[in-house]
Amino acid sequence: MFFDKYIVPVLIILAVAALFAFLLAFLGEKLKVEKDPIIDQIRENLCGANCGGCGYAGCDGFAQALYEGKADINKCNPTSVENKQKIAQLLGKVVEIDEPTVAVVHCNGVNSKIKANYVGYKDCKAAASVGGGRACSTACLGYGSCKSVCTQDAISIVNGVSVIDKTKCGSCGSCINECPYALIGRVPKSAKVYVACSNKCKGKEVIAACQNGCIACGLCEKNCPSGAITLKGNLAQIDYAKCNGCMVCVSKCPKKCIKEL
Amino acid sequence: MTTATKNTVKSVIVLSLISVICVGLLAMANGIFPKPDTSAKLDTKTVALLNEICYSESYDIAYGTYDEFVTSFNDKNGTNYKYINALYRATGDTNHGRLIVEAVGNGYQNGTVTVLVAYNIDKTIMAVELKSYDKAKNNYMGGNLVSSGALDAVFENLKGSSGNVGSGKDLMVGTGATNSLNGVANAINFANKFIESVDESALPPIVVQPLESAPIVRYAKDIELLGGQHE
Amino acid sequence: MNNKYTSALTGGLFSNPVFVLVLGTCPTIAKSTNVTNAVGLGFATMFVLVFSNLVISALRNIIPDKVRLPAYIVIIATFVTLVQMFISSYLPALDASIGAFIPLIVVNCIILGRAEAFASKNDVVTSVIDGLSMGLGFVAAITLMGATRQFLAEVLKIEIFAKTAGGFIVFGLLMALFNVLIGIYNEKSKAKQESLEEKEA
């Protein structure tokens, strides 16, 4: 009775468990896909955000592509410079590492004039497809399409305008692709200032449309000691190779559209 | 030993150990938990049905599902869906000593039907009553047979018969749910078979007990539990 | 204590296994026809969840990777069998109504899902807390479903809600409502946090 009730079930299960465990472990070894351990080392050096900015299926895919020599390490913005150099070492290559960048929204159109009331799905692309409704043709609409694609939670909507936190931004580029007016661009991470406007219209039209728009007055260009900021197409632009971060332009701009990063 | 072999051995040992411990625990728990009580009971519902077909002031269970007589009969002749639940006995002055068999038969899609068959002294059917049926599978029973009174007509026809009653088709007066009636027919046939094998003189003596006081139910198992008490 | 266990404690509410993670919907829709069934099945599942989380978390470093799944299933199945024995011995009424669904607890997504996602990666105390929280979340969800369906079917006499189609309808509506409420709460708490940070800055 004891044998039937206790020993037999235990023996049966023991046999089944042992058989299955053996099968799993044995076949697992036999059918294993060989993977060069370097791939794992490369993967460990990557930032690991899985943002997809490199164009590959996550960091695993990127590591594989790097190993196979198909990918350029500079494609990955979030990974730090020293880690990129370590990866270059692992691959046995000499790679020139670009300077790290962050994304900024080239618009500070708080209270930009509304030409038409947009009633519809609160998404920037949807609004832009029917004209956006603002007097400025490159006004940030503030519906947060960029925010919704950011995997690092770096974007927030402040006073109706999108703002990117440079400490969280990995420069993956998802928001850059998402903005319907292409307001987001990359600047070097070490940059001190950026132009918070993208409007290329003449000053008079800009004043009518927004109180923070660049009117191309040229005060920044005249006062920049290193000649880093110039006017092109009624819009100020900064050459970061020349910018030394003195921030004279920020104080001189009458419209306050050059902002500290 | 290579890592691969070491992994394999570790896998086998760990899984086997976990399985053995778990199964051991379950086997012990199986012993601890009391078995669910699926035995035939002399509850008020059964008594009410017994009163319909074979009125007596009291009844006892002559043989229940724990009695070896019933279990051996079921083992030899029954199946999972066809078996004897109990043999009741009228212990009052009225119908004193009459036997009633509770049998289960399989109907449509093996849904079970439970009937009570009361017998005359000469082992012909005195009356039949439906105790319960699988509502999900034999769903025609309720509508077509029970509430329409067709089943009562069937049972009337059976009074005084003995031996094989045939199948559902043979029982049915007119047309109806012959598949569900198969369950009834199977149960009655099985009850008939059982009563043939019952030797009345071998039955334990009757103890007349009114239902209000705790009935001494004659399970062989209970006789053990009561410390060999035979009354 | 605060941060380490809070997320596990509130997991049952903000990541409710039924309405947010959408796990374990099979018993929720099929057996939430009345409150008794719902509570019974809910607590049976919770018992298995807590104890399997405990054991799996305790053994997480010992079980080799290749036999992870078989080991988890054996452990979970053991607890389910214990529950089944208990219910069939002591609660025959419950056994009659939900008896067929007890073995299905073994493959309830919540239990295996939490075992894979949580218990195999966290220590015993946190895993048990997670098990309790998720279990209670499941009980709350299935009881809410059961109460709603029973009310609609028996008090308002709308019969469809006693059937599975009604179950799906109630499930979808409750899920939508739940997520809206959680969304509102999240926005409120984020706004509160932002105003707090502004004050500090």
- How far is it, in rounded angstroms, from Cα A47 to Cα A181? 29
Instruction: Report which DSSP code applies to B121.
Output: T
* Predicted TM-score (pTM) of this structure: 0.55
Among C65, C66, C78, the residue to mutate for chain A (most A Cβ within 10 A): C66
Q: Which of B134, B119, B183 is nearest to B154 (CA)?
A: B183
Residues A235-247 pLDDT 10s: 999 998 888 888 8
Report the pLDDT value the prediction gives residue B95, as an integer from 0 to 100.
84
Cross-strand pairs, B87:
B63, B101
Tokens found for residue C37:
């069934």
ipTM: 0.79
Contact between B4 and A29 using a beta-carbon 8 Å cutoff? yes
Q: Are A259 and A106 in contact (CB under 8 A)?
A: no
A213-219: Cβ within 8 A, 24+ apart: A213/A109, A213/A112, A213/A136, A213/A255, A213/A257, A214/A255, A214/A257, A215/A254, A215/A255, A217/A254, A217/A255, A219/A252, A219/A253, A219/A254
Q: What percent of chain C has pLDDT over 70?
A: 98
Looking at chain A, which residue has its C-alpha nearest residue B21?
A: A10
* Residue tagged 């079921």 (tokens): B74
Amino acid letter, residue A126: A
Residues of A in contact with C66 (CB under 8 A): 21, 24-25, 28
What are the φ and ψ backbone dihedral angles of A108, each rounded to 5 degrees? -130, 35
Residue A64: what pLDDT?
Answer: 87
Maximum mean pLDDT: which of A5-14, B128-137, C139-148 = C139-148
Residue C160: C-alpha distances to residues A71, C154, C155 (Å):
58, 11, 13
Domain ranges of chain C: 2-200
Integer Cα distance of A133 and A114 in angstroms: 6
Largest CA distance in chain C: 63
> Where, residue-wise, is CATH 1.10.15.40 in chain A?
37-91
- Both tokens of residue C196? 């707090």
> Is the pLDDT score of B230 beyond 50?
no
Cα C64 from Cα A254, distance rounded (Å):
67
> Does the pLDDT at position C155 exceed 50?
yes
Query: What count of CB pairs under 8 Å joins A to B?
Result: 48
Taken as a whole, chain A contains a residue count of 261
Residue ranges, CATH 3.30.70.20, chain A: 101-260
DSSP A210-232: -TTS-----HHHHH-TT--EEEE
Distance (Å) from the C-alpha of residue A38 to the closest C-alpha of chain B?
20
pLDDT of residue B220: 46
Q: Which amino acid is at A205?
A: E
Chains that touch A (3 or more CB pairs under 8 A): B, C
Give chain A's count of helices (H) and strands (E). 11, 8
**Token match 């832009």: residue?**
A128
Q: Is the pLDDT of residue B217 over 80?
A: no
Do the chains contact at A28 and C74, CB–CB below 8 Å? no
User: For B73-104, what is each residue's pLDDT tens digit?
Assistant: 888 888 888 888 888 888 888 888 888 999 98
Q: Domain A37-91 adopts which CATH fold?
A: 3-methyladenine DNA Glycosylase II; Chain A, domain 3 (1.10.15)
> DSSP character for A114?
B
Q: How far is B24 from chain C (nearest CA, A)?
A: 10
> Can you tell me the distance from the alpha carbon of B169 to that of B107, in angstroms, rounded to the nearest whole number?
12
Residue A1: how many CB atoms within 10 A of its CB?
5
Longest dimension (CA), chain A: 102
pLDDT tens sequence across B140-177: 676 667 777 778 888 888 888 888 887 777 777 666 66
Per-residue pLDDT, averaged over C67-81, amounts to 94
Q: For the residues C171-192, what does the mean pLDDT come to?
A: 89
User: What is the CATH number assigned to the segment(s) A101-260?
Assistant: 3.30.70.20
- B136–chain A Cβ distance below 8 A for any pair: no
Note whether A23 contacts C: Cβ–Cβ < 8 A: no
Residue A1's pLDDT is: 65
Q: Give residues with Cβ within 8 angstroms of C186, minimum separation 6.
A: none
Which tokens is B58 given? 């009291």
Instruction: State both tokens at B193.
Output: 């078979």
3-state SS assignment for residue A194: strand
Mean pLDDT within C152-167? 87
Q: How far is CA A38 from CA A43, A66, A84, B23, C138, in A?
A: 8, 10, 14, 44, 44
> Among A33-37, A129-133, A171-175, A181-185, whose mean pLDDT is lowest?
A33-37
C23 half-sphere exposure, CB direction, 13 A CA radius? 22
Confidence check: pLDDT of B229 > 50: no
Torsion angles phi and psi, residue B68, rounded to 5: -65, -30
Nearest to B26 among C78, C86, C95 (CB): C78
Q: C167-176: list long-range contacts, CB under 8 Å, 24+ apart.
A: C167/C29, C167/C30, C167/C32, C167/C33, C168/C29, C170/C145, C171/C25, C171/C28, C171/C29, C171/C145, C174/C19, C174/C141, C174/C144, C174/C145, C174/C148, C175/C18, C175/C19, C175/C22
- Flag whether pLDDT at C136 surpasses 90: yes
Provide the pLDDT for residue B122.
Answer: 86
The subunits that touch chain B, with at least 3 C-beta pairs less than 8 Å apart, are A, C
Which helix (H) or strand (E) is A193 found in, with range?
Answer: strand A193-195
Pairwise CB contact (< 8 Å): A10 & B31:
no
Which residues of chain B from 2 to 21 reach within 8 Å of chain C, CB to CB? 7, 10-11, 14-15, 18-19
For A183-222, what is each residue's pLDDT tens digit? Answer: 999 898 888 899 999 988 888 888 888 988 999 888 988 9
Helical ranges in chain C per DSSP H? 2-9, 11-14, 25-30, 35-58, 68-90, 92-98, 109-114, 124-150, 164-200
Are the beta carbons of C75 and B30 separated by less than 8 Å? no
